[in-house]
Amino acid sequence: MSEGSKLVVNKENVLQAAAAFQAEADRMADVVDIHAGKMRFDAVFGDPASADMSSALQARLQSDQDSHISRARQYVAELRSAASQLQKVAKDYGYTDEQIAEALSKGVSSV
């Protein structure tokens, strides 16, 4: 989460919050995986300038460190980190590893 973001949880909602972040991370990871290969820009009509532009845009979309795909994967990592932090908070509230795992496996609606 960004420095300016705050999430307030308590014993009653910490498992639901952890499950929500984990579920969203899983959902987003699937979306990114599905669409990563589809984000492409092919050269047009064999034009040399188009080939250069295609290569530059392909890097911008997929392979550069700050590409759209890289940023989406970073967002997924941040969601997973938030879920992990909330799991630690849940343990501090006295929840067992089994209770936490069960809540995460059931997802948001069942917690």
Q: What is the pLDDT of residues 70-93, one digit of tens each?
A: 999 999 999 999 999 999 999 999
Q: What is the pLDDT of residue 93?
A: 98
Q: Tell me, what's the pLDDT at 26?
A: 96
pLDDT of residue 107: 75
Instruction: Output the pTM of the full model.
Output: 0.77
pLDDT of residue 108: 64
What is the per-residue pLDDT for 90? 98
Q: Is the pLDDT at 29 greater than 60, yes or no?
A: yes
For residue 111, what are the contacts with CB-CB under 8 A and spacing of at least 6? 15, 16, 19, 103
User: What dihedral do alpha carbons 77, 83, 88, 89 form, nearest 10°?
Assistant: 130
Tell me the mean pLDDT in the region 13-28. 97
9 Cα distance to chain centroid = 21
Q: Which two tokens stand for residue 48?
A: 């040399």
* Per-residue confidence (pLDDT) for residue 31, from 0 to 100: 95
Contact by Cβ (8 Å): 21, 96: no
Is 2's pLDDT higher than 60? no
C-alpha 68/C-alpha 70 separation (Å) is 6
